[in-house]
Amino acid sequence: MSLISPLADGATEAECRHEFDGMKLILERRFPDAELVDEWSGVAPGLTGTRTGYAVAYDLVDDFFGATMPLRSEAYLFCNVDKLWAVKYRITYPRAVEARSAIASFIATTPTRTGP
């Protein structure tokens, strides 16, 4: 799921990092037993005008559509998309599924314009 954040036009690198750290904190509070397995940065596939974004992955065990199972939860933040937006994603899926390429495809095809 993508959320368009009010962190927008002209956001500094420090503001973007602060927003990302807040995303991590929310996930860690929601799932106190979650284990941080990876944190990285990179340019969003297909999002124009974007600086390097932030991403993090956690492993956890929780309910997934009625069944308790090992999960991976990933959070992404890209600032200054089209020089106007910050775009956030949080994607949770069964750990047994290889989802990175599907996530990259999803991010690349997410519309980032709200007008003509």
3-state helix, strand, coil in the chain (%, to 5): 25, 40, 35
Locus of tokens 């009010």: 6
Amino acid letter, 77: L
- The structure's pTM equals 0.82
Q: Write down the pLDDT at residue 14.
A: 84
Structural domain spans, the chain: 2-108
Quote the distance between the C-alpha of residue 17 and its chain's center: 13
Alpha-carbon distances of 69 from 18, 37, 95, 104, rounded to whole Å = 31, 17, 8, 24
pLDDT tens-digit series, residues 64-85:
999 999 999 999 988 877 666 7
CA distance 25 to 14: 16
